[in-house]
Amino acid sequence: PYGFEFIDVPELKRIFVVGVGGPHTWRPIYMDGRPHPAELEPTFAGHSVAHLEGDALVVDTLGYNERFWLTREGIPSTSALHLTERFTRTDYDTLRYEATIDDPGAYTKP
């Protein structure tokens, strides 16, 4: 209900997504080409790496803990969640959001 902001920090090769309003959450997205760590400590926001595909920012996240909520309504997810998000700015006032939810602990297919 509150929206979010992208903060690009090129010198760190990171983007931060900040939830504004109520929850005051943030998550770093690594843009330096690193892979996910082999041994991830599960966290609420998981571990995010990303790259650009044309005009789209493609974010790959895994390593969520059981407390993460995909939506405000709390649809099911488990620590097996692998989330792929695609953000595309189609014009000045529009940000297109596409997500692929792959969680074999909660769903039968992505």
| Global pTM value | 0.91
DSSP states along the chain: ---EEEEEEGGGTEEEEEE-SSS--EEEEE-S-PPPPSS---BSS-EEEEEEETTEEEEEEE-B-TT--SSTT-----TT-EEEEEEEEEETTEEEEEEEEE-TTT-S--
* Confidence band, pLDDT 50/70/90 cuts, at residue 106: very high
Q: What is the pLDDT of residues 33-82, one digit of tens each?
A: 999 999 999 998 999 999 999 999 999 999 999 888 878 787 889 999 99
pLDDT attached to residue 21: 67
